[in-house]
Amino acid sequence: MYNEGGDDMRKVPVFTIEDIKKMEQDTLSKQKLNQIELIQRAGQKLFETVNQENMVSKKDKIIGLIGKGHNGTDLLWLLKHLFDDGYDVYYSLLFDSTTNDIQNSLLKMLDSSRLVSKKAYLNQISSYDVIFDGILGTGFKGDIDNSLKEIMCQTNQFKNHMISIDIPSGVDASSGIAAQCALKADQTLIIGGYKVGNLLNDAKDYHGKPYVIDIGLEDVTSHLHYIIASHNDIKVERLHHTHKYHYGNIGVISGQKHMFGASVLASHAALRSGAGLVTLYIKGQYPHDLFSVFPEIIMDTYAFKHQLLRKIKSKQIIIYGQGAKQKKTDTLLRKLIRLNQMMVIDASAIYGFKRLIKESNNHKPIILTPHIKEFSTFAGVDLSFAKKKAIDILRQENFKHLYVILKGPTTLIKIGQDIYFVQAGHPGMATAGSGDVLAGMVGAYVLQYGIEKGLIKAVLTHGKAGDLAKHLFGEEAMIASDLIEALKHVNTSSKHI
């Protein structure tokens, strides 16, 4: 039981490309602007941000790589402002001709002596201190055209400071998937608001530091949200007149004997995340030496499914799947679902749940915690399609009643019709058992904080524990149990954090 405060989760909207197009059209209509005036506004805001953040200096030799789309046009305005303000600015047109009247008008305003041919640029790349990227924009999909690929590949080979406009060229703005030779930015100036592709899949490896530039676009309702809260922003005060059953009574079901460690990790993580009581159910005999290592975990055994079902029905939430066999038909899972208890379904059990979706309608909350491969198999699509269309898949009818944590470099959390984007952790967490730790944390936090805050806090805290484990053990050396060790510190004022 807690003394709970208000809404302490900081979040900003994320938009699809269709949302952005509508926002731009609504802005032109409602604010009585023409296209040139909106582009001028974007160019001015870009210039202000570049100056305020000291991204360039007047000692720098600057070049802008101009494509024939909107990003190239926005960049032309920015370069004009920089040139007028005394910066050493050059530009290169990476197209043969354009039918864009606005671009043609802008080009007439620029000093033609500052125009650098594509051939000259390739020979002089190393001479530029800062490169502004306005080659490809939100309309890019698929592969980079051969006429641009050489330029972009060679640009990546040098260590010039790279600043991309809206999204790094070669990154798909609807999915975040990067094509071969996509530009790697040090900073990205995101115009109007986060797009899906600014956050998902390869985005973290290509964007550098992102800056969102508000150009006064009209709002649209978005059910996509980027969480910018810290794990400690979601907290509640425990009341004194409470006992262990107020903080979660959890049942974890162990899988195959040779993968027994997975369920131990989940159980231990649940306790370290504040659960009041955790029971680990083991088929057959359990290793007795484990009791001395983990005395806080209650270990109970069963021989037959009906015995397990009778014992576990008193639990507030069931965590299942760690170390389980991958089965198309999981008879134990079917029986567990019929108990109608809150569940966290993880790992191999997700495959078995695919055939049980209809049976889980009107069920107490069911939380799936797949990685992208498990998600693609569950959704019945290939892996590449799942990466490109994860948002659309999560909005399908089959997922309507489910809560989902889709683990990745940016984790997606589906809660009702809302999808939350959480960037937490690092590649060192791609290690066996890391997901088992998260499953245990999810079970504990959901019971303490409720579904929405509990799921988000679990992902944020899991990432923070990963950051501390990296600090203590190194990204390559850390293992899943180090995350649990780190949980002892992440909610304190430890100087290591």
pLDDT value at position 65?
98
pLDDT at position 342 = 98
- Could you tell me the pTM of the whole model? 0.94
Average pLDDT, the chain: 93
Residue 155: the pLDDT is 97
Tokens of 380: 């019945």
Question: How many percent of the chain have pLDDT more than 70?
Answer: 96
- The candidate with the shortest Cα–Cα distance to 269, out of 485, 446, 457, 107, is 485
Q: Average pLDDT for residues 169-192, to the nearest whole number?
A: 98
The predicted structure's pLDDT at residue 496: 42
Mean pLDDT of the region 151-164? 96
Mean pLDDT of 71-99: 92
Residue 446 pLDDT > 50, yes or no?
A: yes
Phi, psi of 263 (to 5 degrees): -75, -30
pLDDT value of residue 494 = 43
155 phi/psi in degrees, rounded to 5: -60, -40
Task: Kindly report which listed range (101-115, 209-223, 314-328) carries the lowest average pLDDT score.
Answer: 101-115
The one-letter amino acid code at 199 reads L
pLDDT at site 114 = 96
pLDDT of 237 reads 86
pLDDT of residue 187: 98
Backbone phi, psi, residue 284, to 5°: 85, -150
Mean pLDDT confidence for 159-173: 97
What is the mean pLDDT of the segment spanning 296-324? Answer: 96
Map residue 324 onto helix, strand or coil: coil
- The order of strands in the sheet holding 342-346 is 194-195, 11-15, 224-227, 418-422, 411-415, 403-406, 366-369, 342-346, 317-320, 249-253, 277-283, 298-302
Out of 9-13, 83-87, 253-257, 326-330, the most confident range is 83-87
pLDDT score at 99: 66
Q: Are strands 187-191 and 161-165 parallel, antiparallel or unpaired?
A: parallel
Asked whether the predicted pLDDT for residue 474 surpasses 70, the reply is yes
What is the structure's pLDDT at 3? Answer: 39
Q: Tell me the mean pLDDT in the region 83-96.
A: 94
Q: How confident is the model at residue 8 (pLDDT cuts 50, 70, 90)?
A: low
> Which residue has better confidence, 396 or 98?
396
Q: Is a pLDDT exceeding 80 seen at residue 329?
A: no
pLDDT of residue 483 exceeding 90, the answer is yes
Label residue 98 by pLDDT band (50, 70, 90).
low
Asked whether the predicted pLDDT for residue 232 surpasses 50, the reply is: yes
Average pLDDT over residues 153-179: 97
Tell me, what's the pLDDT at 1? 43
pLDDT 10s digits, 338-348: 999 999 999 99
Single-letter amino acid, residue 369: T
27 vs 6 pLDDT, higher one? 27
Instruction: Give the HSE-up count for residue 119: Cα atoms under 13 Å, Cβ half-sphere.
Output: 1
Dist CA 469 CA 281 (whole Å): 29
